[in-house]
A and B are shown apart, each in its own frame.
Chain A
Amino acid sequence: MESSIAIRMVNITKTFGEVVANDKVCLDIQRGEILSLLGENGSGKTTLMNMLAGIYFPDSGEITINGNPVTIASPKDAFDLHIGMIHQHFKLVDVLTAAENIILGLNETTVVDLKRVREAVKQICDRYGFVVDPNKKVYDMSVSEKQTLEIVKVLYRGADILILDEPTAVLTPQETQKLFCVMRNMKADGKSIIIITHKLHEVMEISDRVAVLRKGHYIGDVPTAETNAQKLTEMMVGRAVSLDIERSEPVNRTARLVVNNLNVCDKDGVNRLTDVQFTAYSGEILGVAGISGSGQKELLEAIAGLQNCRDCSSIEFISEKGEKKQLSGMHPIDIKRLGVALAFVPEDRLGMGLVGSMNLTDNMMLRSYREGKGPVANRKKPKKLAETVVRDLEVVTPGLNTPVRRLSGGNVQKVLVGREISMEPQLLMSAYAVRGLDINTSYNIYHLLSEQKKRGAAVIFVGEDLDVLLELCDRIMVLCAGRVNDIVDARATTKDEVGYLMTYLKEGGKDRE
């Protein structure tokens, strides 16, 4: 038994300032197993793995590999010990080819022999079922290709232990299946794999064993076969959490946003949205599904006045009182002046929705700082709002004066959603509202959106998890290559149907509804 343990971490502690990221964590990884590392945002999963990868150094504790105590002081040490980590954010050089990226930093003394590298890459690919074109430049690659390249890179360096940090967050369901297939092949080859993920159904599908961290403490591990999503959530959160999304019937359903003939093209003149046509109703959640980059971002930004629409486009907002207002061609400031209560939770939270270096109070006033007369900005109301949001949404923060950049991902999103909801929107748009969030926070966000729907807001929810879209939304609009492929009833449709609509453009699909 002892000999099958690849890595043993004993009493690992790591602190950042006052924050204890890992507190005496003990973790074993067997050879030839897939281990899921589960935990809420900020529970210390990534920190723990970074210590294996040589990015951080533990304050105390011991790591043994194959029974030998080791020191991992740098990523190079990690490579020497055959540990490879695939980070959430890819570490590739865009202008180099796949093969060049693979040998980058290896410091091979001989002349770079790209031919031999290509040969070796091909061997690795054949063995595990990857598809990598060694001559392709990274900037030409899709997200999934880049990820594959990252994996091949660490395998080329001889990694026996692979750490994948949220690898599926950016992948489509099909790409995820491909990745899992490769992971199973690697496992069969005797490699150990640690996967960090928030998606419980993936944990159940791919892993052999699940280890759970909570607030830096090691809670325990269970064989996947002996547990289920509900039990894992309880281990993670520390109390029972309902995994049902409450979906009420739409009430008082009236047209709130009527979009016709919406055409948007990007800087290079490429059409990102073509003849988009749909209506969003008050009191319902309209889901938007699609492969990433199908025009979701452009759609929401066009409604918010952040994209230039073609002249023929029409975006008509109908207020509660029935007044019609044309939003197409307007700047955000014009929309604001029209009195349209439009809340927008953008995909890029710290790059668009919030200012990372500013504290909570200052972020609360981002959309409302003009209020009040005179040149002086009023900070009293934002401060109150910040207090309310922190209390109601259970934001974990050292204080109101902490820059939001220092908060964990889930708390950042709570701050953003809290601010947007506080303006009592008539139309609420959110893009990938739960990306990277742990299960508990995700359900909080779903709950908040449902509440807005009950309040009578029209909610547009751009999502990537089809299960959630099917459970949360009333209708689902499927985008495909910048067109509306179809709008389906979320209660009647299936995952397969939506998945199909995401990938195959129907003839005349845009004319429906």
Chain B
Amino acid sequence: MSKQKSASHEPFVRMSKRDGLPLWKSLGVRLIGLTLALIVCAVIIYALTKLNPLRVYAAMVKGAFGTNKRVWVTIRDIMMLLCIAVGLAPAFKMRFWNIGAEGQILVGGLAAAACMIYLGKSMPTIALLVVMFIFSMLAGGVWGTIPAIFKAKWNANETLFTLMMNYIAIQLTSFFVAKWENPFGSNTVGIINQMTKAGWFPTVFGQMYTLNVIIVMILAVLMYLYLRYSKQGYEIAVVGESENTARYAAINVRSVIIRTMAISGAICGIAGFIAVAGASHTISTSTAGGRGFTAIIVAWLAQFNTFIMVGISALLVFLQKGAIEIASQFDLNDFVSEMITGIILFFILGSEFFINYKIRFRGGKKEAGK
């Protein structure tokens, strides 16, 4: 027993799990986390660039909300990200690692673009939008269902499968971009139906993007109710927790997997429809633009609660917009803005730790580290 230590040698810090924190407290922790993140960013910005951090922050706000148009573009992008996250929520709640949202968005967008190009002249806009909506939804749904079928029937790994489906969708998009090329030789589709605006979202209440907001918010509310109160939502939760339990409860695991992925893919397809008809009015391989992956963070951070997703989507889009603005205004490169995004995300994730665990310091009585 040579290594005996004295009793005062208590470990310096210890963690212990805490029981559920009241909502206002956990919100408080997150707010503190955000504030700390901004302070740390300020210090780093000043140290690196000698710029006044407050001016930088002001520029970020300006980038996102500086003009009326910017406000609406920000809102448009928030809705896009939210829509994808809403689509991913049921899949991830079922612990089906759907990293194929990119592909599902693209095929949804392709379907929408095809309708605009081929049916644009023959239909009134409202009917055309309905047809586009349905075809995008179907395309995304099929794209999501294929890996689900393989998962259900042969237990194929869905992560790799959905990822590979992304590449197929990208190749497919390249093919159609070449086919629909306009003007010839540009290697882009260009703005579809620029003259007639057939298949474009109409302006509602004088705003271009009102319809985006309406569609996505309806989806978000429906998904919230679906996951929380429906029998199918309950089945998704059980399958996600344990397939054995699901079988025990007489749940048909295969059909739940396929059904859920059809829904997940369909909503991502709708996101593609919104991206084409409600935002860019064109299609390219970058229509999804990595948002299919960012949305995974949104869905998980919100614990599949679609209302919390609104806030997280807003934060991420705001950071991105602000980052672009400071990059151009202060002649900084993109890395500074990405650094800020990284630091803020780090602190948000860090506050999750403090919500779940309590820290105690040596000698200190309880309750340290609220």
Residue numbers of A with Cβ under 8 A of B are 16-19, 57, 59, 62-63, 65-66, 68-71, 73, 77, 80-82, 304-306, 331-333, 335-336, 344, 346, 348, 351-358, 362, 365-367, 369-370, 375-377, 398
Q: Which residue of A lies closest to B16 (CB)?
A: A16
Q: Which residues from chain A contact B55 at a C-beta distance below 8 Å?
A: none
B230-A333 in contact (CB<8A): no
B326 to chain A, nearest CB (A): 41
Q: Which residues from chain A contact B6 at a C-beta distance below 8 Å?
A: 69, 71
CB of B359 within 8 Å of the partner chain: no
Task: Answer whether A70 and B5 are a contact pair too, CB < 8 Å, given A57-B10, A356-B241.
Answer: yes
| Max count, chain B CB within 10 A of own CB: residue among A71, A80, A331 | A71
Q: A68-B1, A69-B7, A398-B19 are in contact. List 5 more A-B contacts (CB 8 A).
A: A16-B19, A331-B252, A355-B245, A376-B230, A377-B230
Chain A at the B interface: SS class: loop
A367-B249 in contact (CB<8A): yes
Task: Answer whether A352 and B242 are a contact pair too, CB < 8 Å, given A306-B248, A332-B247.
Answer: yes
A365 and B245 CA atoms in complex are apart in Å by: 13
CB of B69 within 8 Å of the partner chain: no
Q: Which residues from chain A contact B247 at a C-beta distance below 8 Å?
A: 306, 332
Task: Answer whether A332 and B231 are a contact pair too, CB < 8 Å, given A70-B5, A71-B7, A355-B242.
Answer: no
Residue numbers of B with Cβ under 8 A of A are 1, 3-11, 14, 16-19, 229-235, 237-238, 241-242, 244-245, 247-252, 366
Task: Answer whether A352 and B244 are a contact pair too, CB < 8 Å, given A17-B19, A73-B10.
Answer: yes
B250-A353 in contact (CB<8A): no
The listed residue (A18, A333, A335, A355) touching B238 by CB distance below 8 A is A355
Q: Which residues from chain B contact A365 at a C-beta distance below 8 Å?
A: 234
A73-B7 in contact (CB<8A): no
B368 to chain A, nearest CB (A): 12
Q: Which residue of B lies closest to A366 (CB)?
A: B249
Q: Which residue of B lies closest to A372 (CB)?
A: B231
Task: Answer whether A353 and B10 are a contact pair too, CB < 8 Å, given A71-B5, A375-B232.
Answer: no
A19 and B16 CA atoms in complex are apart in Å by: 12
A55 to chain B, nearest CB (A): 12
B11 to chain A, nearest CB (A): 5
What are 28 A-to-B residue pairs whose CB atoms are below 8 Å? Answer: A18-B19, A57-B14, A63-B7, A66-B1, A68-B4, A69-B7, A70-B4, A71-B8, A73-B9, A77-B3, A80-B4, A81-B3, A305-B250, A331-B250, A332-B247, A332-B250, A333-B251, A351-B245, A355-B237, A355-B245, A366-B248, A366-B249, A367-B249, A369-B231, A369-B234, A369-B249, A376-B229, A376-B231
A17 and B9 CA atoms in complex are apart in Å by: 24
Q: Which residues from chain B contact A73 at a C-beta distance below 8 Å?
A: 9-11
A210 and B9 CA atoms in complex are apart in Å by: 32
The listed residue (A333, A354, A358) touching B237 by CB distance below 8 A is A358
Q: Which residue of A lies closest to B229 (CB)?
A: A376
Q: Which residue of A lies closest to B225 (CB)?
A: A376
A16-B17 in contact (CB<8A): yes
Q: Which residues from chain B contact A304 at a C-beta distance below 8 Å?
A: 248
A15 to chain B, nearest CB (A): 8
B1-A336 in contact (CB<8A): no
A379 to chain B, nearest CB (A): 8
B4-A333 in contact (CB<8A): no
A335 and B242 CA atoms in complex are apart in Å by: 21
A353-B248 in contact (CB<8A): yes
A355 and B19 CA atoms in complex are apart in Å by: 19
B241-A336 in contact (CB<8A): no
Task: Answer whether A366 and B5 are a contact pair too, CB < 8 Å, given A16-B17, A333-B250, A377-B230.
Answer: no
